[in-house]
Amino acid sequence: MVKVDIVSWKDKRGGDIQKIGVDAFPYGYSVGPRGEWQMLVAAEDKAVRANEMTDIKVRDVEIPERAIILPCFVERHALGVVASVGGIGRSKLVEEKRKIDNVIFHPISDGKVHIGELLGVINILYATFERKLTEEAVESWLKGRSG
């Protein structure tokens, strides 16, 4: 177990910051055979400048409980890449439904992103959580993998 502070925007990006102390545990998980792709589509027009990361509102994407997300780097917008996804407020547990309504966009060129443009794609993978990984469990797992 590790004590960590989770720091997030309370109401809006650039607004009030909240900090919540939690006890965190590493967990083992298995990814099932089923997954899906979801598109990150701009929900606002936004001027962007090269190498100045900015937040862009996107159409809501629902993330089911017990699902993990990974970026799909095959598809990107001509002006840049999605660096991170999220929402405002406290981070939710992976066991809870979550919603993506905002991305951090890293432009590589100056220009303007328009409503309806595809910014990127994410992989949604369904996971089964196995157990908390204690130090002993991690050592045992590593020994089993090293032969």
Domain locations along the chain: 29-146
Query: CA-based Rg of the chain, rounded to a whole angstrom?
Result: 18
pTM score: 0.79
CATH code of 29-146, in short, is 2.70.40
Cα–Cα distance, 9 to 24 (Å, whole number): 20
pLDDT in tens, 84-104: 997 777 777 788 899 999 999
Residue in 6, 114, 112 with CA at minimum distance from that of residue 49: 112
Residues in the chain with pLDDT < 70? 131-147
